[in-house]
Every structure is written in structure tokens, then in C-alpha cells.
Amino acid sequence: MSVEQAVAALREAYRTGVPCPPLRGALLAEGDVETAYAVQRAMLAGWVAGGRRPVGAKVGLTSAAVQRQLGVDQPDFGTLLADLAVPDGDQTSMTGLLQPRVEAEVAFVLGADLPHEQVTSVDVIRATDHLLPAIEIADSRVAGWDISIVDTVADNASSGRYVLGTRPVRLADVDLRLCGMVLEHAGEPVSVGAGAACLGNPLHAVAWLAGTLARAGSPLRAGDLVLSGALGPMVPVTPGAAYVARISGLGSVRVCFAGEG
């Protein structure tokens, strides 16, 4: 099994826009999450060497149903890059997206470091500067989203782009466990959920991420952006469509997609 071969397969998918076959089995051993993260780190090192800038992290697999589907009992994480941010309300090109899906999330912007290996919700509350509503444009370089935990971890937790709202909200002003979410397309709800769908509370997801990254030697720092995980089911993107996420207490965020042409 080869880290280098898995990296090459993912890079080719990025280059050509053609998804690759699943990495598990052929290039990475089933269930070998440690090696999958080595692939993710190698991909990130190449991006940084090319001048791209990490600005934070995202948590994936925060839904109990998705965890059961992939046969895992914990979330995963990936890195957010500055050049993948889409301004609120803007149109984003389909170019560079292979098979995008959208989901609504709560974004945390940190005002203090989270350096400890054991992190509590209180630590996260104290470290959070503000919250923003967010739409994650998830994507997969693996054909047909035929992914296991190994495939998605290696593929930077199936990261694509992300859209952030522009009105900061204090964490104390929102009940994150109970906050409701509606993701709309053409004025119709296409995904609904609440904060409790994200590991019981998005605070729990950020605490898990902070401890995991600290143990890996790369803790979250002041100024970092964290996408805490989906509040409802992902929705496949329709080219030419617009999507609006409304999260109670946080406001709304919107993104449009260019037509396929």
C-alpha cells in the first residue's frame, strides 16, 4: 500500500477533473486511517509549497447515521485553505468541482489558542471570538462518492469550498444545540436540521477537533476558522442553482453556482 500512489491518484483527479476509483483496497488498506492521514498531510504539504494558505480546519462525519454507514465511531478532519473561500452571495464556478454537494454548518472563529490535548466545551466557549453561518461545498475526488473513512480522510475530509456569513454573532447569544437550520433551493427547503445533529452540539465537535489536533502536534490557534460539521443532510449541487442556509440565531448565508457551460 502506497502513500505516494494515493497522492498521485488524488492529484490526477484534481488535475483532470475526473474522479478516481476508491483508494481503499487498491492503494490503502481498509480501515488504515493513520496512513490515510499521511496521504492528507502529503497533499497539504504540496499545496502549501505551492503558495496556498491554511486558515483553519473542518470537522467531518459528525452525524451518527453517517458514522454508522462508514463503520466508524468518531469524526474526521481536514484543512481549510484561504483560496477556497467564496464570498457570501457570490456566484462560484463549477470549474474545479467534480461532484459537489452543499451542507449548512456553524463556523467558529477563535480568539484564543486551544493547545491542550484534553479540551472541554468550556475551553471552546472561552476561546471562541464569534460564530458565523456557513455553507460547506463538499466535494469528492472519489468516483460516485463511493467512500469509506480511509477515502474521505485521504481526500482532505472531502473538502471543496466554503461560504461564510458576514455578521458575527457571540456564542453566548445562541443555543447551539437547539438552533434550527433550513437549507433552501429556489425557495424550497431541501435540507433541515439542528445543532443537536452535530455530535449533539457543535461545541462538542470543536472540542474533539481541538484535542485531536493538539495530540497531533498542530493545535488550533487564535484566528483559526473551524467548520464544525453538518446540521442536516448534504444536498447534490444543481449547476445554475442558488442555495440559502438559514440558521436560527445566526442569520443566513447564500451561494450561487454557475451553469455547467
Q: Do the bridges between strand 54-60 and strand 225-230 make them parallel or antiparallel, or are there none, so unpaired? A: parallel
Q: What is the pLDDT of residue 1?
A: 60
Q: What is the pLDDT of residue 6?
A: 97
- Parse the chain into domains and list their residue ranges: 54-257
User: Which residue, 188, 196, 193, is CA-closest to 241?
Assistant: 188
Q: pLDDT tens across 204-250, in order?
A: 999 999 999 999 999 999 999 999 999 999 999 999 999 999 999 99
Q: What is the pLDDT of residue 90?
A: 97
Q: Three cell numbers at 209?
A: 477537533
- Distance, CA of 36 to CA of 16 (rounded, Å): 22
- What is the helix (H) or strand (E) element at residue 37, kind and residue range? helix 33-49
Q: What is the pLDDT of residue 68?
A: 77
Q: What is the pLDDT of residue 21?
A: 96
> Is 54-257 a domain of CATH 3.90.850.10?
yes
Q: pLDDT tens across 95-114, in order?
A: 999 999 999 999 999 999 99
Question: Taking all residues of the chain, what is their mean pLDDT, rounded to a whole number?
Answer: 95
Q: Three cell numbers at 194?
A: 439542528
Q: What is the pLDDT of residue 71?
A: 75
Q: pLDDT tens across 107-143, in order?
A: 999 999 999 999 999 999 999 999 999 999 999 999 9
Q: What is the pLDDT of residue 225?
A: 98
- Cβ distance 183 to 245 under 8 Å? yes
Q: What is the pLDDT of residue 260?
A: 72
In angstroms, the Cα distances linking 64 to 73, 190, 194, 209, 222 are 8, 20, 14, 16, 29
Query: Model pTM?
Result: 0.96
User: Which neighbouring-strand residues pair with 251?
Assistant: 247
Query: pLDDT-derived band of residue 147, with 50, 70 and 90 as boundaries?
Result: very high
Mean pLDDT of 252-261: 89
Mean pLDDT of 70-89: 92
User: Which residue, 248, 94, 239, 252, is CA-closest to 184?
Assistant: 252
Q: pLDDT tens across 10-37, in order?
A: 999 999 999 999 999 989 999 999 999 9
Q: What is the pLDDT of residue 60?
A: 94
